[in-house]
Amino acid sequence: MRDKTFLMIPGPTPVPESVMLDIARHPIGHRSSEFSKILENVYANLKYVFRTKNDVFVYTSSGTGAMCAALENLINEGDSVLSLVLGNFGNRWAKIAASRGAVVEKIEVPTGEVIDPEVLRTRLAQDTEKKIKIVTLTHSETSTGAANDIKTLCSIIREHGALSVVDGVTSVCAMECNPDEWGIDVLVSGSQKGFMIPPGLAFLVASERAWKVYEECKHPSFYWDWAAYRKSVQANSTPFTPAVNLFVGLNTALEMIKKEGIENMNARHKRHSLALRNAIKAIGLELVVKDDKNASNSITSILPPDGITVPDIRKVIKEDFDIVVANGQNELKDKIFRMGTLGFVCDRDLISAVGALEATLYKLGYKFDLGKGVATVIKELANK
Ligand SMILES: Cc1ncc(COP(=O)(O)O)c(C=O)c1O
């Protein structure tokens, strides 16, 4: 039987039926009063989800678009940018900064690890002339499943005086993230992750301090221009033709998020990722992120057992159970597989996924205590 695909990848993530049905309706005019009403609701609810008093911009793009929208409105040629890199997406910030002519320095950590706040503090303390203008960070590094302590790191950056520019693509909705309270200067995210809608929209929120730096940007981007987006948000409009149907779906999804409550949504993600981590350990597999406190709530990276390949695991779980798990990226391709617990995921999904993984490993000849993963996940989920 088919047509029951469960995307257990870190995006695109499963979409609720009510959201799908709303997206499927006829497009409406983007300058109509009907659409403006939807935007009014969307913009208000985004402030709730992003826990900010500042306007949240919505770009018709993938998450990388919002990353470009962040740096391309802040950097002048020759500016110094420090990029904190846990993996692929931390590196993406460095590449975007370099593409704008910035002088980029990186602090990198081995796979599965996170930035030590003391390392950052020491590096910034050496910058007595305050040359470093921007520090880029990733909250949840999707390529490894590690999550930085953004609150502490951003407070260190604030003490130094640089701007913190944070990738919250797989953390917003899934993990506590308080830009106003924690002094995050720019935070970006994407629709196909925790927001429970398909790919195509990206989000950005900027602090007052970031706006001051924007005002000194000699060549701000045209398509991503913050001023154009702020003006539009305040008029319940958009600067250009937006992905109208996705906004309609976003409106429905944001109402669902509000109903669940953002704190409850964060807690659900944490509960699911911890249950999954413990189930994986019970099955006898190794996790890439060793310490629970450094683990993302949205993605869990796992090493395959000896003698069984990642492509085989991904093939059997797809063919037999219609569950899609992600491969590793770049140098981690075929070395790890990644299971998402992001967005529209419930307890039933998790129990099924762990059961399907056990069945897959069993079929592939892995010797283990069959059923231990499912038993663990059931017990973990019972501790609400
Ligand atoms: C942490 C993180 N940052 C950035 C991106 C890039 O987003 P997109 O592929 O939507 O451009 C992703 C995508 O998976 C991500 O997980």
Give the position, in ligand 1's atom list, of the atom nearest the Cα of 190: 10
Q: How far does the centroid of ligand 1 lie from the alpha carbon of residue 158, in Å?
A: 25
Boundary-marking domain end, from 217, 237, 259: 259
pTM of the entire predicted model: 0.98
| Whether residues 293 and 149 fall in one domain | no
State the chain's mean pLDDT as an integer.
97
- Ligand 1 atom closest to 202 (CA): 10
Q: Find the angle CA(243)-CA(244)-CA(245) to the nearest 5 degrees.
A: 100
Q: Show the domain range for 268.
A: 6-12+262-382
Q: Which of 64, 138, 148, 188 to mutate to test the pocket of ligand 1 (most atoms within 8 A of CB)?
A: 64
340 lines ligand 1 (CB under 6 A): no
Does residue 137 share a domain with residue 65? yes
Of 259, 282, 301, the position where a domain reaches its end is 259
Which residue reads 């993938």 in tokens?
Answer: 62
Q: For the chain, what is the domain count?
A: 2
Whole-number Å distance between alpha carbons of 82 and 309: 37
**Is residue 213 a part of any domain in this protein?**
yes
Residue 294 lies in a domain: yes
Rg (CA), the chain: 21
1: confidence class by pLDDT, cuts 50, 70, 90: low
The residue out of 259, 293, 322 marking a domain boundary is 259
Which CATH number covers residue 220? 3.40.640.10
DSSP-assigned letters across all residues of 313-369:
HHHHHHHHH-EEEEEP-GGGTTT-EEEE--SS--HHHHHHHHHHHHHHHHHTT--S-
Span from the CA of 202 to the centroid of ligand 1 (angstroms):
10
Identify the pLDDT of residue 4.
87
Q: Is the pLDDT of residue 2 over 80?
A: no
- Average pLDDT score over residue span 325-348: 98
Q: What is the pLDDT of residue 3?
A: 83
250 and 324 belong to one structural domain: no
The residue whose CA has the least distance to atom 16 of ligand 1 is: 142
The response to whether residue 189 sits with its C-beta less than 6 Å from ligand 1 reads no
115 and 194 co-located in one domain: yes
Query: What is the per-residue pLDDT across 68-106, written as a single tens digit (0 to 9) for each?
Result: 999 999 999 999 999 999 999 999 999 999 999 999 999
Same domain? 232 vs 346 = no
Length of the chain: 384
Q: Percent of the chain at pLDDT above 70?
A: 100
Mean predicted confidence (pLDDT) in 15-39: 97
Say how many Å lie between the CA of residue 12 and the centre of ligand 1. 10
Instruction: Summarize pLDDT for 240-297 with one digit per residue, the tens.
Output: 999 999 999 999 999 999 999 999 999 999 999 999 999 999 999 999 999 999 999 9
